[in-house]
Amino acid sequence: MKTWDVIVIGAGIIGLSLARELRKRGASVLVVERGEPGRQASHAAGGMLANCGDEIPSVLQPLANASAELYPEFVHELEDESGVHVDLRSYGTLLFAAPGHSVPEMPASNPVNVRELEPALAAEGRTAILLKERSVCPRALTEAALKAAKHRGVDVSSGTEVLSVEVAAGRASGVTTDKTFYPATKVVNCAGAWAGQIAPLAMPTRPIKGQMVCFAMPSRELLKHVVRAPEIYLIPRSDGRLLAGATVEDVGFDKRTVPETIQGLRRAALALLPALENARVLEDWAGLRPGTPDNLPILGTTPVPGYFVATGHFRDGILLAPATARVMALLIEGRTPECDLRPFSVERFGE
């Protein structure tokens, strides 16, 4: 029976990025995915690499900043190895205050004249600052990560649900799926919202639903910057698509879209960008982000030697992928990561 150095459970952007990073370092790796690779939270994400502003908890800021810095080289490598264009955009983000309020001062940000930067926005009486953030197309990114991982020799088993991480002689020995057993000396749980369903440790993750809608912009030049406002965010793509979202709903494993919710997103988008009035709606969807009780990721070792976890990234999985891959690969190798992972230990939740 074939065996691997590391089995990664979950083929979202976190699992695929980690698998590729481990393979770069010489490990043999198998990724086991319950469905189709990259078709859950990664497929549904907006792709804002939002490491600035107050959305990132202070304890997570060092990892977020490190990941944002890694992104250009990360994307360059993925595109080179996969042949997939990822659409990394560096125009920046316009962060809006609520109507009648001012945006607080932030490091590395500047108040801007919105009309000069984005004349199509209906922003009269509102203030905004420009953040040096990037955005990326998550679907292209995940496709590139999958192809790059396979290019490097990572094995992928899809349509296979992991039921449990097996333990022999006091340490992880592989995984049992609904079809077979795969042996390995180390296992990493990157199963996102489903991470808590894998025995023997119940990771405290839960699905947090997000609904989004996608327009075809009348012109690719209609909007260049990502827009983050209290009522909506808008994410332009280089191919002329424009994403608007997203809700945050704690409703279990429910990926259905709600027409009234989608219409609400559309109205909020039109209020800020009236030129979308007659724009065609290309699609709408819902995804399940992996949430945790404190909305921080779970990264590091577990009480079972050889069993690791990298999940619970909530709204920041796309942003945190390159840094998570790096710190977890170092940890799995037995080395000390540059970022302190103690705030993200699974043991913070107790028994």
Hey, where are the domains in the chain? Answer: 4-84+138-203+293-349, 93-131+207-291
**Per-residue confidence at 55, pLDDT binned at 50, 70, 90?**
confident
The predicted model scores a pTM of 0.96
Q: Give the mean pLDDT of 212-218.
A: 97
Which DSSP helix (H) or strand (E) runs through 203?
none
φ, ψ of residue 199 in degrees (nearest 5): -70, 160
- Average pLDDT in the chain: 95
Express each pLDDT in 60-89 by its tens digit: 999 999 999 999 999 999 999 999 999 999
Fold of 4-84+138-203+293-349: FAD/NAD(P)-binding domain (3.50.50)
pLDDT over 60 at 108, yes or no = no
Homologous superfamily, domain 93-131+207-291: D-Amino Acid Oxidase, subunit A, domain 2 (3.30.9.10)
CA distances, 336 to each of 24, 91, 187 (Å): 18, 35, 18
SS3 267: helix
Q: What is the DSSP letter of 214?
A: E
Amino acid at 290: P
Percentage with pLDDT > 70 across the chain? 97
